[in-house]
Structure formats: C-alpha cells, structure tokens
Amino acid sequence: MPKDENNTIVELDDEHNVFILTEEQLHPNLIGFHRVQVDATEKCLIYRDGLLFKTLGPGPHRWWNGFRHKWKKQRINMRVEMLPFSVKGRVKGPAMPQDVPGAAAVDLACDVTAALDLVCRLADIDTFLQYRNPLSVFSSSFQNMVVELIGNLPYDQLGKWAVDLRTQIYDRLTLPGRDNAERRVGIRVEEVFVREFKPNTAHDRNMMANYQLVERVRREVAEAEAKEQGAVKTAASLRAQGELLNIAPSILALKDTPIGIELLKHDASLRNMAFAAGLNPGVNIQPIRDTTGQLTSGQTGQIGYLNPPSADPRGIPAPPPGASGPLYNSAQPQVSGQLYDNTTLSNTSPFSPPSSGSPSGAPASGGEPVESARRARELEALQQQGFIPVGVGKVEPLRDQNGNPTTREWVLMVQSPRADGFPLIVFHCPVLYPTVAPTVQVRQATGSLTWTVPNTLNSWQAGRLLVEIAQEINNDLP
C-alpha cells in the first residue's frame, strides 16, 4: 500500500498481515479520554505523534488524550500460526558395490519432496517490521538450510530421511546460531511437522525388482540344493542296490522305464548264460593266461559283461559253499585287465605279464634300472598327454623274502587329473626295462593301491611307452 507520511506508522506488506493485523487512528471521547479494549489473542502498540508510546496487553485500557496529540494503534496478532513449506532436494542414493571399478568415486542421488508445517508465533516486533518481506526472507533462509542438510541424508523407502530432516531443521531454527528464526526475522518456531513426503518412485521400483530377483534366486538355490541332496541320496541308494544285486546303478536308475525293464531282462538272461559257462559277468576284461596260480584249478580267464563291477570287481566268481582263502578278499576298484589285491601280492614280487623275449620281472644286478634318456622320454610323453608325474621317479631296491636286496627298479608315480579327483598310477620299471614290461599299481581318488595288469602289457614291446598304459587305465577307470 502507498505510504502516507502523515497517517501511516510503517508501510505494511501482505506478508506483514500475518502478524500485524491493522493500523487505526484513535480519537478521544468527549471528556478527552481514550478507551481501548484489547482482544485476548492480541496486543496493541500505541503511538503518540508517530512514536511508540506504550504496549497494551489483553483487556480494557484508558488514558488521557492530552493537548494537541495524535494517537494511533497497531493490532498485533499473538496467536500461534502455522506456516507451510515445501522442500525439494537430492538425498544420498544406494551405495555402489565395492567390486565395481571406481565405485568409491561414484555417488548416486535421489530426488525427493517433503511438505513441512512450521508452528510459529511473533516474538520480536521490531525485527519483524524491519523487513519489507519478512516471510520471503524467512523462506529463503529456510530453503538454504534445507539444501545444506538434505544432501547428507541417506535415502530410504519408509521416509526416515524426512523425519531426520525435520529434527535437524527444528534444531537449527531454535538453537542459537545464524539460522535461528527469532534472531533473523523475529519469529519463534515452536514445532516442525512433516505433513507428507514423496519418495523416489523410480528408485523404489528398482529396489523392489532387485528384492524380487534376490528372493527368486534364493528360492531357486534352495530348490536346487534340495534336488541335489535328493539326487545324492538316490545315487547312494542305487549304488547300494547295485552292489547287492551286482547290477550297474545306471541300469537300476532306468528300472521304471520301458527300456530299463528290457535291459534288466537281458542282463538277467546274459548273467545266467555267463554263470552256466563258468564265467563271472562282473568285470569287462579280456581272457589272460593264469601264470601265477591265483585262480582255482581248471578255471579259465574271465570275460566280462558290459556293466561296471560292483560286488567283486577282481572278476573272481562267488565262492562255492565252504570256500575261503585270499582269492575271495574284499573288492577293489576296477580297471581294464586282471586285478590283484595288496593282501595277496607284495610290492616286491608283483605279477608281470608275459613279454616278448624276456622273463617277466627277471632280476638283474648292477647299473641303473632305466637309462636317463629313456626316463626323460617317458616323462615328456606323460606330460604331453596331460598326466602329472610326481617328481622324476626314484630308484628303489627289490628284496627277497629274507629282506636281502637282489636288484633295483625305477619307481615312477603319475597322477591323472579327473573331475572326481586325482587317481594315482605307480609304474615299477625293472633293470631290463623296456625289454621287460613294467608292473603297475593303481589307486583311485579314494582307496588303496592295487596291482593291475592292463591289456597293453599283454602285447608289450620295447618300443612302447608308459603313457600308453596310463591312457588305458585312465579310460577304464569309472
């Protein structure tokens, strides 16, 4: 409103009208007295000749006019008013995963909005009146403070950031400091309320999608683990049944299918024929000559069936009633060829298959068992085919039954990397090697060393290498 120097105490704007209600001219009564009734929610400022004369509280008041004085009053609103404010800003978003390159240098942020209500009352009239637009000044100070505070708050979907912002704003407006509202514009802030807040919808959708993805992955992992445990139990059960029935677990797994039923029928028929012929259907080997007398008298070499061994993989038939002896010891892992248990054969006198031109395992005296060039050639060939020699082998003495050294042999241990472990193959190369064939021990990923005669040894020649034996054993291991 335009200022009239003769009639106006102070120029008032619309923003002043929140707390400065009206400015009125006072006139005395007939006997020269002024009478004013002040409302309970107001107080009045009385001006005489343009200067503040006194402040009147609630209730009736009267005073003498005097001579040639002009009187005015300003009605001051002493009620508690609520000032609404809307704040916008960017809060800290979710942290980047630490394994992402440059994650420490990346700060994500989310745009948020909140509506706050400030409960205020006028505390200092002079400070309030010195501003042309006091509420605009207060709003600018308020927004400046919000920008400073909101950037340090972490975002959350439940609105805790808005509550934390409310608390920090209240402290800054009421406690002593540069943002104290009473010191700045003469308004005392009594309380700050959060009316509503608007979350970051895009971020919340992403978080919900990520949560659903994580929960689905967890559920699928739990189901996969349960299925795996069930498969392990089923495989163990099929293995136990196969050992009991001397049937391959792979065939038992198909027992409820038409092809599995037919396989079981043919398996039973072939077993009957094998037993009728005096053969054991439990091992897949070629007939070899019994040169050590390990088999019973009159028993021929064993021809196996297509399924892997289970009850007695050495190919020895079930003992007749009352039979006993080392021939019927516990089962050992299967490889291609004739198998011998450590309980029946000692490390110093293993069985050697027939070889051309030399007796099997014939002892010799003096000299190195195998030439250095031959050793290097054997090691290089094994490594080229993926086998892992354990060192370069060592020369060990062979002893007779009385413990006296008779000759020496080159012992080389080789590992075969497989998915289920590292089976161990031990080659015993005598003095006349490679003219005389080596002897071989095998140990699967679990178990003990077992003497074996792979089929390669049946046709051994001086030009062959140990890697051929290792490849045959590796292919025949289950």
Residue 187's CATH number? 3.30.479.30
pLDDT surpassing 80 at residue 5: no
- Distance, in Å, from the CA atom of 471 to the CA atom of 416, rounded to the nearest integer, reads 9
> pLDDT at position 280, please?
60
- Interval 131-147 mean pLDDT: 90
- 255-259, 262-266, 448-452: which is most confident: 448-452
Q: Which of 205-219, 401-415, 446-460 has the lowest mean pLDDT?
A: 205-219
Domain count, the chain: 4
Residues 323 and 367 occupy one common structural domain? no
210 within domain boundaries: no
- Interval 343-354 mean pLDDT: 39
Q: Which of 142-151, 283-292, 415-424, 455-464 has the lowest mean pLDDT?
A: 283-292
Q: Is the backbone of residue 98 left (phi > 0), alpha (psi -120 to 50) or beta?
A: alpha
Percent of the chain clearing pLDDT 70 (strictly above): 72
- Distance, in Å, from the CA atom of 34 to the CA atom of 54, rounded to the nearest integer, reads 13
Cα-Cα-Cα-Cα torsion 308, 313, 314, 319, nearest 10 degrees, comes to: -130
Residues 448 and 344 occupy one common structural domain? yes
pLDDT surpassing 90 at residue 316: no
- Interval 143-166 mean pLDDT: 84
Of 316, 331, 346, the residue that ends a domain is 331
> pLDDT at position 440, please?
94
- Interval 107-116 mean pLDDT: 78
Considering only residues 50 and 470, tell me which one the structure prediction assigns the higher pLDDT.
470
- Mean of per-residue pLDDT scores for the chain: 76
Residues 90 and 166 occupy one common structural domain? yes
> pLDDT at position 168, please?
92
> pLDDT at position 6, please?
54
Residue 37's CATH number? 2.60.40
One-letter amino acid for residue 446 of the chain: T
Residues 308 and 346 occupy one common structural domain? no
Alpha-carbon distances, residue 33 vs 26, 63, 67, 297 (angstroms)? 10, 6, 11, 150
Cα-Cα-Cα-Cα torsion 419, 424, 425, 428, nearest 10 degrees, comes to: 170
Alpha-carbon distances, residue 9 vs 25, 35, 73 (angstroms)? 10, 20, 9
207 within domain boundaries: no
pLDDT bucket at 185, cuts 50 / 70 / 90: very high
Percent of the chain clearing pLDDT 90 (strictly above): 22
Of 170, 199, 228, the residue that ends a domain is 199
Q: At what angle do helices 466-476 and 372-384 cross, to 10 degrees?
A: 30
- Interval 26-32 mean pLDDT: 87
Alpha-carbon distances, residue 25 vs 42, 47, 72, 73, 74 (angstroms)? 17, 10, 5, 7, 9
- Interval 205-211 mean pLDDT: 64
pLDDT surpassing 80 at residue 360: no
> Would you state the structure tokens that stand for residue 90, as one six-digit string?
């960017």
226 within domain boundaries: no
Residue 432's CATH number? 3.10.110
pLDDT digit string, tens, across residues 49-75: 888 899 999 999 999 988 888 899 989
- Interval 126-131 mean pLDDT: 89
Direct distance between the N- and C-terminal alpha carbons of the chain, in angstroms, rounded to an integer: 102
459 within domain boundaries: yes
Residues 344 and 455 occupy one common structural domain? yes
> pLDDT at position 426, please?
93
pLDDT bucket at 407, cuts 50 / 70 / 90: confident
- Interval 350-370 mean pLDDT: 46
pLDDT surpassing 90 at residue 173: yes
Residues 178 and 61 occupy one common structural domain? no
Residues 342 and 471 occupy one common structural domain? yes
- Distance, in Å, from the CA atom of 395 to the CA atom of 310, rounded to the nearest integer, reads 36
70 within domain boundaries: yes
> pLDDT at position 171, please?
93
Of 304, 331, 358, the residue that ends a domain is 331
pLDDT surpassing 50 at residue 406: yes
- Interval 418-446 mean pLDDT: 87
List the domain range (segments joined by +) for residue 416. Answer: 334-476
- Distance, in Å, from the CA atom of 42 to the CA atom of 24, rounded to the nearest integer, reads 14
pLDDT surpassing 70 at residue 209: no
Residues 127 and 154 occupy one common structural domain? yes
- Interval 332-360 mean pLDDT: 40
239 within domain boundaries: no
Considering only residues 288 and 422, tell me which one the structure prediction assigns the higher pLDDT.
422
Considering only residues 239 and 343, tell me which one the structure prediction assigns the higher pLDDT.
239
Q: Is the backbone of residue 293 left (phi > 0), alpha (psi -120 to 50) or beta?
A: left
Residues 338 and 472 occupy one common structural domain? yes
Residues 325 and 349 occupy one common structural domain? no
pLDDT bucket at 203, cuts 50 / 70 / 90: low
pLDDT bucket at 93, cuts 50 / 70 / 90: low
218 within domain boundaries: no
> pLDDT at position 361, please?
37
- Interval 418-443 mean pLDDT: 88
Residues 379 and 447 occupy one common structural domain? yes
pLDDT surpassing 80 at residue 345: no
> pLDDT at position 105, please?
53
Q: Which of 86-100, 249-263, 338-352, 435-449 has the lowest mean pLDDT?
A: 338-352
Residues 456 and 366 occupy one common structural domain? yes
> pLDDT at position 353, please?
40
219 within domain boundaries: no
pLDDT surpassing 70 at residue 98: no
